[in-house]
Amino acid sequence: MRGDTTFPVRLRFTKRGPVRFISHRDIARAFERAFRVVQLPLAFTEGFSPRPRVSFGLALSVGYESDAEYLDVALVEPIDVDDVAPRLSEALPAGIDVTGAAALADRAPALQEAVTAAAYRVAVTVPKGTPPTALEEAVAAALAQTELHATRVRKGRAIVEDLRPAVRHLSLIEPNVLCLEVATQPRGVRPGEVLAAIGEGFDCDHVLRTHQWIERLGARLEPLEADGRPRALDARAS
């Protein structure tokens, strides 16, 4: 290693089944253990309690599933990114599978700053006695509005906010199942907040995050495609 040179790698992983109920902290611990098991050449923070230099992407609510979670990990030497995903998956709890890996360019923007949109598949619980077309009609009415109000609690105070600018896409793809895409900047919006805003009594039965996107200069990129490190650089460094 030359000076403090590191080799960042971005991982995409799933969160499916019972593991969706464990906390973000437990997910982080599971990955730290898996990194040790597969003996990744981790870079560590400085100070009295050095930790692996790992940064996660957008937070996922406990109970939600996902096929598109991401983390960045800094290494002290380059690795074969084509080999790391299956090795890590074997060392992780059931339901967490690493489905892709990419070497990052130096000083790539952090995931939480770079990701601009997230997409979800949302199974909706509707109130008893609701007409079969109620959700479809509520979605159509919400899309026709210029504002979509929701109440959020901040520092103990209820504040009404307009969610409409954050709703990129909203459609009914199956009976009581929505496809939803929301902007993540300047603030994230949860599917449950959107449902509460489009109609009283609608609630999330099951939520699956299907995609996250990084948008730059008119291009729409999956996070593994953005800020990649040219393989030639790793070949010269190894």
pLDDT tens, 135-182?
999 999 999 999 999 887 777 788 889 999 999 999 999 999 999 999
pLDDT band at 231 (very low <50, low <70, confident <90, very high): low
| pLDDT beyond 50 at 232 | no
| pLDDT beyond 90 at 133 | yes
Residue ranges of the alpha helices (H) in the chain?
24-37, 81-91, 111-114, 134-144, 191-198, 231-237
Mean pLDDT (the chain) is 91
pLDDT tens-digit readout, 62-81: 999 999 999 999 999 999 99
How far apart are alpha carbons 166 and 168 in whole angstroms? 6
Give me the domains of the chain, ranges plus CATH numbers: 7-114+223-237 (3.30.70.580), 117-216 (3.30.70)
134-144 and 191-198 are packed helices; what angle lies between their axes, rounded to 10 degrees?
90
Helix (H, G, I), strand (E, B) or coil at 67: strand
Q: pTM of this prediction?
A: 0.90
Mean pLDDT over 86-98 rounds to: 97
Bridge-based pairing of strands 203-216 and 219-221 is antiparallel
